Amino acid sequence: MRRTSSARTVLAFAPLLALGLSLAACKKDAAPPEPTSSAEPVEEVSQPAPMTAEDWIRANHKDAVSSDLGQLQYAAAETDLDGDGTPEVLVYLGGPMFCGTGGCNLAVLKREGGDLIQVSETSVVQLPVGVLDSKSHGWRDLAVSVSGGGMTEGISRLRFTGSRYPGNASVEVSADAAPISKPLITEDALKPLD
């Protein structure tokens, strides 16, 4: 009988013993394992490079780039014309598609994000091209050389109208103007578009 009562006692405590063992098994002794470095690295999204003068010429003057009439040449310079701290791009376009007896074309481009947006394009421009300290509608005036095509040789002051520079450089020629003291684009700056 004695055996039966001790067996009963053990059986009575068996559920408590099982509960204690299962709770002990849930105890946290160690920190969870750290994630391994085998995960794929996250690629950073890179910003596209800002548009260059060459990119702008290719995008906006495809007919001149692929012309059989002769090789397109250009020269570019950057300077802040509107005082916003971001330089505008001046692109002098040379070659048979852009030049006549009076000169070639000068494009003024503004950066917007990574793109170049055309502000104006002026024809009948000779080199050198410079920038004056004077301003019109908040933009610096341009000084360009003019000659040929029957006009008097001189310097033309291109004034910003509030939306663009004049379409023709022969509009305000001064035969007695001083030479351009700080040229941005010089006579020897032209190079072929690669």
Per-residue pLDDT of 8-30, as tens digits, reads: 554 555 555 454 545 555 555 55
Q: Which domain holds residue 99?
A: 53-192
The reply to whether 42 falls in a domain is no
The pLDDT-based confidence of 165 (bands split at 50, 70, 90) is very high
Taking the mean position of all CA atoms in its chain, how far away is CA 58? 15
Tell me the two tokens of residue 1: 């009988």
The pLDDT-based confidence of 38 (bands split at 50, 70, 90) is low
Q: Is the pLDDT of residue 82 over 80?
A: yes
**Cα 32 from Cα 108, distance rounded (Å):** 62
Beta strand spans in 82-190 (E): 88-94, 104-112, 115-136, 139-148, 151-158, 173-174, 183-185
The reply to whether 35 falls in a domain is no
pLDDT digits (tens, 9 = 90+) for 41-74: 666 667 778 899 999 999 998 887 776 667 889 9
pLDDT digits (tens, 9 = 90+) for 105-149: 999 999 999 999 999 999 999 999 999 999 999 999 999 999 887
C-beta atoms surrounding 99 within 10 Å: 19
What is the reported pLDDT for 119?
A: 98
Beta bridge partners of 180: none
Closest CA relative to residue 181, chosen from 141, 124, 125, 143: 143
- Output the CA–CA distances (angstroms, integers) from residue 194 to 50, 125, 128, in the order listed: 18, 23, 23
The reply to whether 14 falls in a domain is no
Provide the domain count of the chain.
1
Measure the N-to-C terminal CA separation of the chain; round to a whole number of Å. Answer: 109
